[in-house]
Amino acid sequence: MPVTRAFKFRFYPSDSQAAELLRTFGCVRTVYNLALAARTEAWVERQERVNYYSTSAMLTAWKKTQDLAFLTEASSVPLQQSLRHLQMAFANFYGKRAKYPRFKSRRKSRRSAEYTRGAFRYSDGRLTLPKMAEPLDIVWSRQLPDGVSPSTVTVSQDSAGRWSVSLRCQDPTVTALPPATNTVGVDAGLNHLLTLSTGEKFTNPRHERRDRDRLARAQRALARKASGDGANRIKARRKVARIHARIADRRHDHLHKITTRLVRENQTLVIETLSVRTMVKNRSLSRAISDAGWARFREMLEYKAVWYGRNVIAVDRWFPSSKRCSSCGTRRDTMPLNIRVWTCACGAEHDRDVNAARNIMAAGLAASACGADVRPQRNTPSGRSAKKQESTPSMSGEVNP
């Protein structure tokens, strides 16, 4: 079955195209905020839930008013899509998968517009959007699969000023890989980004640390600029954003290479569930944890496993992977973070991270065999934070239990 995926490319719009897209972004943001305000007001004042169809009718009425007549200057498709996105945001909120939708800010919110099939023209690598006479100047870093046409197109501009177009289509070239016999456990850390049960370790590139001095200088320059929307402040803000974008791009590229290799070489991958959102509350380690990208690593690993017919098993974060001997199963009472190598009473000498990865693999396979989660019994005091065990600062910079 073909996999639906998005292909993202950079493009360089002309002045007229940039003006049209910026106008569209503003209209999309306005419609989203108006619809959110209307739905919030209806619920607060009348306990009434307003759905997508009601907001679509409101959009038609808004276009006929004098104050919002400028909405007719933009394509109607992105405006309708913004209402669908709002409907999805409320569905996630009512399903307790997300917080209440927030209003979009002109400065901080992502600038984007989505076009569905029929609202754009795509032929022979030439993409033309509504209200534009010329196709976009796209840098095709790779070709779309033969005979495939995008179903939706999303145009965006990030905080660094870079323009991107994402084409969502079915990719028949993504098929399941031949079955493999390898199974591997993966332990995440900070000194080493990942440690495998085979003993292999992936060095943590620490992308943010490499550009920390540049980032600090750019942020100090931004802080010295007068507040507001002055040209100098905008230029300084964009310089900071470009440094952040450079760091994020390098991090994502590194994680893509690692996850692709792991999925290709192993049939089953066992990882540890980490509450990254809670762990970053530790002010001593939050920067290093964010730079590691553990949540993004798991996300990449899981969707690539689905693509290529692999299995990913997640072990509960409370499992004492580092305290238990992978040879005899004896569990130690404590395991300070400064202990990187230790010897069990049975005589087995362990590397802390490799031992944890082996225990994670064994626990994941055992749980998969019996169809249960790896959730050991524990007496958890009321109010205890749900974060990885022993995630306290140390000289080693690790957070592995």
At residue 69's C-alpha, the angle toward residues 64 and 74, to 5°, is: 115
Q: Are 361 and 262 in contact (CB under 8 A)?
A: no
Annotation says 353 is catalytic: yes
Name the E strands within 44-191: 111-116, 121-123, 126-128, 152-157, 163-171, 183-188
> Pick the catalytic residue: 208, 291, 353, 398?
353
d(CA 354, CA 352) in angstroms, rounded, equals 6
Handedness of CA 243, 227, 230, 217 (dihedral sign): negative
Q: How far apart are CA 279 and CA 269, in angstroms?
A: 23
Q: Catalytic: 208?
A: no
Q: Which helix (H) or strand (E) holds 270?
A: strand 268-272
Q: Please tell me which residue in 187, 208, 291, 398 is annotated as part of the active site.
A: 187
| 265 labelled catalytic | no
Instruction: Read off the tokens for 252.
Output: 């994502």
Nearest C-alpha neighbor of 294 from the set 372, 395, 204: 204
Q: Kindly give, in sequence order, each residue whose CB lies less than 8 Å from that of residue 379, ignoring residues fewer than 6 positions away.
A: none
Rounded to whole angstroms, how far apart are CA atoms 234 and 251?
26
Catalytic residue chosen out of the listed positions 20, 114, 208, 272: 272
Strand 349-351 and strand 121-123: the pairing is unpaired
CA 286 – CA 391 distance, rounded (Å): 11
Q: How do strand 192-196 and strand 183-188 relate by DSSP bridges?
A: antiparallel
Residue numbers annotated as active site:
187, 272, 353
